Structure 1
Amino acid sequence: MPDAAPVKTRPTAPEKTTLAEAPALDSAIADLGTGLRAWVHVTLAQRAKLLERLHATVSAVAEEWADTAATSKGLEPGHPLRGEEWLSGPYATLVAIDAYRGSLEKLAKGESPLAGIPTEPAPGDRRRAHVFPQNPIDNMLLSGYTGEIWFTPGTTDAAARRDAGLAQLHPTTPGGVGLVLGAGNVTSIPVLDVLYELLANNRVAILKVNPTQDVLVPVYERALAPLVEPGFLRIVRGGGDVGAYLTTHKGVDHVHITGAAPTFDAIVWGTGAPAARRKRENRPQLKKPITAELGGVSPIIVVPGVWSDADLRFHAEHVATMRLQNSGHNCIAGQVVLLSAEWPQRDAFLAALRTAYDAAPARPVWYPRSDEKLAAAASGYPSADWCGDGTRALIEIEPGEDPAALETTEYFAPVLGVVSLPGNGQEFLDNAVAHANDHLVGTLGANVLIDPVTETALGAGFERAIAELRYGSIAINTWTAFVFLTPTLAWGGFPGATLQHVESGIGIVHNALLLDHVERSIARGPFRPLPRSLSALTGKGRMSVLPKPPWFVTSRTGASVSEGFTRFRMDGDWARLVGTLVQAFRA
């Protein structure tokens, strides 16, 4: 390794403030300046070893992590949905750590992280890399699921392979100190954002935990001890005043936030009339770079075809899961179902959807101010059906009714809408793509459900329509949460957002192959579960050995299977995995 470049750090003298926490925050940032000087001397091989240690410490607290998170959201022991917190917390973190470690090991040997990964053309002068599955374990646990990274138009294979590695191509060049303003809804998000700061950008980080996750701070401190001890990470609590202090601190070089667009605007432009003027004149009050993931209104495009009754039930449960997982408190929760008004099975699908939406297990609506969002939906759409325990709105937009509020408000609560569009086949799909692009706020994730016969019939027209969807993640016969959970895929809004028009955010995270030139991620899943997926053996669709994905809110064994999958990622115990797979077949 060459000698490290000199690290230039700005003075971190105390800010002029009356904030009680200021001295501790100043001290934390000073520690990170020292940690940054140490980080650039850590070789790639040593960084891979550090991640091995991190895998062990995360594994050691995984059960406490999942239990604490579930209980904090009102899911008491024995609740059928507690498995969500295993998958979206320690599972997501462990698979990301392992994927980053693999990339570092390749780079340490002088290889590209894309070495051995096939690429091929994609529509619109693009290339795509088939980045999932990476190994037989992926194939087994997530049978029938695949993932692709699509590069920006004009990117060549040579450029994609040459530039894979990002900051780890120059590991002795410091990236400064990054501030991570952690998300409050999903417990792995703050950890994954810290990892991306460190590995994609060579930035040590100060993580301000969202107050909704304060209960997890002791767990984070032990899970991330290999980063905290050498000064690569500091974890702090606090509200908006602490966040505001940190964003303007002279010792912070970069800000990353997972949250909502109004919070982003308040950081970048300020509040009130002066902020509006600054935004209009493009004079941001924030004087340092910022990246963000900000959510949006996600479409679920249901392409008409000839579906069996079992298909209708399965995908009705699929759509209910997209909305109700984590009680709808997800930036990628499906919110607007786009249906063909001419689909002969439209009414049958809606009936199955009402049944699934109503029958999903009861759970608290726990995220702050959700009651206000539900009240807004009730006021805007008095004809809404209130399902389940009365906290789930199902809004079917009737002819002449205005869908604007539904399509431009990220409710972040159990509110699901249905909008009908004209056409069948390609005509409907093109209408739905245009509608999603032009009417739904945000560009984070879109979902498409299509049976294999119809997809085959549309052929190149289907892939062209997918290319025209302006979303950073697209899930075909799966949910965009699969993209979030798959570390070799990238997560973020569609490229092109600006400070003034931030859409679903700026930049990407996850992306464990450390790829440059990323435009979007595409996940594909099986239209039918086992045993109906056996039709794939005759050339129709994708084969899957999963009777029902464990993340479905209707999975009878989802809690035990999610825990079992996580424990296998922790220790690789094949004997115990057999029992987990038996549970999966009982879903």
Structure 2
Amino acid sequence: MSDDVRAPLDAAIAAVQRGARSWSHLTLEQRARLIERIRAAVVTCADEWAMTAARSKGLDETHPLFGEEWLSGPYAMLTALDGYLATLRALARGASPLDGVKTDAAAHGGLRAHVFPASRMDGLLLSGYTGEVWLRPGTTQAAARDAAGLGQRRPAEPATVGLVLGAGNITSIPVLDVLYELLAANRVSVLKVNPTQDSLVPVYERALAPLIEPGFLRIVHGGGDVGAYLTGNPAFDHIHITGSAATFDAIVWGTGAEATRRRKADDPKLTTPITAELGGVSPMIVVPGRWTDADLAYQASHIATMRLYNSGHNCIAGQVVVISRDWPQRDAFLAALRAAYAAAPQRPIWYPNGERRLQEAAEDYPDAEWSADRTRALIDVPGDGEATALETTEYFAPVLGVVELDGNGQEFLDAAVAHANDRLAGTLGANVLIDPDTQRALGAGFERAIAALRYGGIAVNAWTGIVFATPILSWGAFPGGTIQDVSSGIGVVHNTLLLDQVERSVMRGPFRPFPRSVGGRNRFSALPKPPWFVDSRTATPVAEGLTRWHMDHSIPRLVATLAQAMRS
């Protein structure tokens, strides 16, 4: 590496080393005011953030999926900042962030906190959705309350210096990771952005200027040589990466013969502590029941969204649909799924190596069904077919698979949970679709099945992507990853209540949208179709409007947004 490249990297490290000494002198109230300044800065550049992100992915403001960049960029950032502000203010007045939050026993034998909705407005904007953070078994209510706040319970402790290697697919990930490092661990950061997000660097620099000015953050960019120099630099006390398991292993163990030798000797190349979020193959378990034609169409659209959001370039994109071959409505459901998957708006395969991933799927499954000018594959694996590639390869592209198991009711659900746990790569997120009558009939057996899923994020009649976009919930792999076998990662992020001993987060949503959500055993929702659905007709104005509500709390604008949502 040349001196011209190395010098600014060394300067960035030196700046945050100085900043670390300043951070520990800030009171909780001063830190809250700093977050308020970041919030104001994000508001000023939110429009440019969304537009720059969309253009980097080959979209413009007229594309029907432009709204995705509002939701997964400034919206997620603003909701996280609001959550951290509430936590800092609670701690500053001597309270616990868990005060006022309902807690009870979950089916895994441990404590769960019902954290979402955190306000009446949350309940209005995400009508029908609730979220829980499950803590590891053995954590008592008193211990959870006393630990909530993590590093901010000890603000005067010396700060450390970390390296954050940002993701390249979702624009809020790098900045959310920086915030969690700062507040959960009292750790200032050098953020190295992924080259796919180089165009966002000026936006990040303005949005995070209140952190950059005092030396709590520096943002750098570059290729693999820059990453290698930084990860090998002894100045860092910790590294956090959002990316792939292959990149993680290369950092920890090296590559080729070196990696083989080091693994055999249990002698990692990296000695710096590391946490990571690395993705995986996410299941969508469809529990058989008696569904109407409208149910079939809506849930088919739901699954298409789980796969096609952001063109499938998501660590949490649903990849494997698990259904019962004994379900009388199996054929009708698959017909609805094929139609929804093919009809969703077209968009570019923009992420590096996306086209190659599609080609790999074509080679793995020559009988795959292709649509949207061969940019989407749907693979229906027969009962005796080979599903190994589908279940162990995170394609990170529009590749959707269907596998079938025997049974109905509890028998099927238990088999599907075991299949997801044992056959699918990773532990990041799992999705379960179940109608309210079937869920009621299963009773406690359903909750036991949810507890048995070894995933860090679980969505029931929702998509785990919304767990990510609801930062009061935790985000990360199920506990158990190690540097020897990292699976979907180590540790969590988001978690704006700064809870300790987190095991997973569970989001529950409505099986049916408005007006079919009214009456019976349905979970009520006022949303005809959520704005993140890829076939929502008003996705962009609603996504922008929800973001602007968090920006300025304008009631007239909110009313207009809700009116748009009713026409989705």
Same fold (TM over 0.5): yes
Structure 2 CA distance for aligned equivalents of residues 185 and 27 of structure 1:
27
Aligned to 2:522: 541
Paired amino acid for 1:562: A
Query: Does 1:390 pair with 2:374?
Result: yes
Query: Does 1:316 pair with 2:300?
Result: yes
Query: Does 1:189 pair with 2:170?
Result: no
Q: How far has the Cα of 1:211 moved from its partner?
A: 0.2
Query: Does 1:42 pair with 2:26?
Result: yes
Query: Does 1:562 pair with 2:540?
Result: no
Q: Secondary structure at the match of 1:532?
A: coil
Q: Secondary structure at the match of 2:54?
A: helix
Query: C-alpha offsets along residues 241-263 of structure 1, whole Å, 9 cap, x if unaligned?
Result: 10111111121111000000000
Query: Does 1:513 pair with 2:513?
Result: no
Q: How far has the Cα of 1:125 moved from its partner?
A: 2.0
Unaligned stretches of 5+ in structure 2? none
Unaligned stretches of 5+ in structure 1? 1-16
Structure 2 CA distance for aligned equivalents of residues 347 and 286 of structure 1:
51
Aligned to 2:233: 249
**Aligned match for 1:340, one of 315, 321, 324:** 324
Q: How far has the Cα of 1:19 moved from its partner?
A: 5.6
Aligned to 2:196: 212
Q: How far has the Cα of 1:577 moved from its partner?
A: 0.9
Query: C-alpha offsets along residues 265-311 of structure 1, whole Å, 9 cap, x if unaligned?
Result: 00000111121121222211101100000000000000000000000
Structure 2 CA distance for aligned equivalents of residues 143 and 363 of structure 1:
29
**Aligned match for 2:510, one of 517, 520, 526:** 526
Query: Any residues of structure 2 matched to 1:217-236 within 5 Å, and which?
Result: 217-236=201-220
- Range 169-178 or range 31-40, more displaced: 169-178
Query: Does 1:437 pair with 2:421?
Result: yes
The answer to whether the 8 Å contact 1:447/1:479 transfers is yes
Structure 1 CA distance for aligned equivalents of residues 129 and 79 of structure 2:
16
The answer to whether the 8 Å contact 2:73/2:172 transfers is yes
Query: Any residues of structure 2 matched to 1:213-362 within 5 Å, and which?
Result: 213-362=197-346
Query: C-alpha offsets along residues 182-224 of structure 1, whole Å, 9 cap, x if unaligned?
Result: 0000000000000001000000000001000000000000010
How well do the aligned residues superpose, as a CA RMSD in angstroms? 0.8
Aligned to 1:4: none
Query: Any residues of structure 2 matched to 1:567-586 within 5 Å, and which?
Result: 567-586=548-567
Structure 2 CA distance for aligned equivalents of residues 412 and 274 of structure 1:
27
Query: C-alpha offsets along residues 30-51 of structure 1, whole Å, 9 cap, x if unaligned?
Result: 1111111110001001111111
Q: Secondary structure at the match of 1:368?
A: coil
Aligned to 1:14: none
Aligned to 1:84: 68
The answer to whether the 8 Å contact 1:174/1:203 transfers is no
Q: How far has the Cα of 1:527 moved from its partner?
A: 0.3
Aligned to 1:200: 184
Structure 2 CA distance for aligned equivalents of residues 43 and 427 of structure 1:
55
Structure 2 CA distance for aligned equivalents of residues 445 and 193 of structure 1:
18
Structure 2 CA distance for aligned equivalents of residues 272 and 446 of structure 1:
33
Structure 2 CA distance for aligned equivalents of residues 125 and 221 of structure 1:
44
Structure 2 CA distance for aligned equivalents of residues 479 and 19 of structure 1:
47
Query: Any residues of structure 2 matched to 1:158-197 within 5 Å, and which?
Result: 158-197=142-181
Structure 2 CA distance for aligned equivalents of residues 292 and 59 of structure 1:
29
Query: Where in structure 1 do 4 or more consecutive aligned residues deviate above 4 Å?
Result: none
Q: Secondary structure at the match of 1:300?
A: strand
Paired amino acid for 2:563: V
Query: C-alpha offsets along residues 422-476 of structure 1, whole Å, 9 cap, x if unaligned?
Result: 1100000000000000000000000000000000000000000000000000000
Aligned to 1:136: 120
The answer to whether the 8 Å contact 2:476/2:492 transfers is yes
Q: TM-score, normalised by structure 2?
A: 0.99
Q: Secondary structure at the match of 2:518?
A: helix
Q: How far has the Cα of 1:148 moved from its partner?
A: 0.1
Aligned to 1:10: none
The answer to whether the 8 Å contact 1:476/1:523 transfers is yes
Paired amino acid for 1:141: L
The answer to whether the 8 Å contact 1:336/1:419 transfers is yes
The answer to whether the 8 Å contact 2:378/2:401 transfers is yes
Structure 1 CA distance for aligned equivalents of residues 471 and 437 of structure 2:
31
Q: Secondary structure at the match of 1:120?
A: strand
Query: C-alpha offsets along residues 461-511 of structure 1, whole Å, 9 cap, x if unaligned?
Result: 000000000000000000001110111100000001110100000000000
Structure 2 CA distance for aligned equivalents of residues 292 and 77 of structure 1:
33
Aligned to 2:384: 400
Structure 2 CA distance for aligned equivalents of residues 297 and 493 of structure 1:
12
Aligned to 1:3: none
Structure 2 CA distance for aligned equivalents of residues 398 and 534 of structure 1:
38
Aligned to 1:153: 137
Structure 2 CA distance for aligned equivalents of residues 273 and 425 of structure 1:
49
Query: Does 1:416 pair with 2:405?
Result: no
**Aligned match for 1:489, one of 445, 448, 473:** 473
The answer to whether the 8 Å contact 2:108/2:452 transfers is no
Q: Secondary structure at the match of 2:84?
A: helix
Paired amino acid for 1:260: S
Structure 2 CA distance for aligned equivalents of residues 296 and 471 of structure 1:
10
Q: Secondary structure at the match of 1:533?
A: coil
Structure 1 CA distance for aligned equivalents of residues 469 and 2 of structure 2:
41
Aligned to 1:32: 16
Paired amino acid for 1:430: D
The answer to whether the 8 Å contact 2:383/2:405 transfers is no
The answer to whether the 8 Å contact 2:35/2:81 transfers is yes
The answer to whether the 8 Å contact 2:344/2:535 transfers is yes
Q: Secondary structure at the match of 1:443?
A: coil
Query: Does 1:454 pair with 2:414?
Result: no
Q: TM-score, normalised by structure 1?
A: 0.96
Aligned to 1:471: 455
Aligned residues: 568
Structure 1 CA distance for aligned equivalents of residues 500 and 163 of structure 2:
22
Structure 2 CA distance for aligned equivalents of residues 409 and 139 of structure 1:
37
The answer to whether the 8 Å contact 2:21/2:159 transfers is no
Q: How far has the Cα of 1:139 moved from its partner?
A: 0.7
Q: Secondary structure at the match of 1:509?
A: strand
Identity of aligned residues (%): 67
Structure 2 CA distance for aligned equivalents of residues 124 and 460 of structure 1:
12
The answer to whether the 8 Å contact 1:113/1:161 transfers is yes
Structure 2 CA distance for aligned equivalents of residues 136 and 54 of structure 1:
25
Q: Secondary structure at the match of 1:20?
A: helix
Query: Does 1:106 pair with 2:90?
Result: yes
Q: Secondary structure at the match of 1:499?
A: coil
Structure 1 CA distance for aligned equivalents of residues 120 and 555 of structure 2:
13
Structure 2 CA distance for aligned equivalents of residues 455 and 487 of structure 1:
27
**Aligned match for 1:503, one of 487, 490, 505:** 487
Query: Any residues of structure 2 matched to 1:121-132 within 5 Å, and which?
Result: 121-132=105-116
Aligned to 2:534: 553
